[in-house]
Amino acid sequence: MEIKLTVKNPEGLHARPAGLLAKKASEFQSSVQIVANQQTKNAKSIMSLMGLGLKQGDEFALVIDGPDADEAKRALSQLVESGFAHE
C-alpha cells in the first residue's frame, strides 16, 4: 500500500523528525520505503531519510508492505500529519 504525505514541520525532515520516523517505522514488521525526489529509500534508516533533504511542503510517499501494514500506515500518517510532535 502507498500513502502520499507532505512534510508539515518548518524544519523539514532533519535529524529529530527523521529519527522519530525511522524509530516508528522500525516498530513494525512490514517493510517501509520512502519515495521522494525520484529515490526510494528504507524509511527505517535515519541516514536514508536525512539524505533525501526533504523540506517543509515537500511531498513524499510511503510504501508499506507486510502483515501489519494497516497499523503502520495509521501510525506513520499520524506522526507526519502532527508535524512530528512528541507522543
* Active site members: 14
User: What is the rounded CA–CA span in Å between residue 34 and residue 76?
Assistant: 11
Query: What's the per-residue H, E or C state across 68-85?
Result: CHHHHHHHHHHHHHCCCC
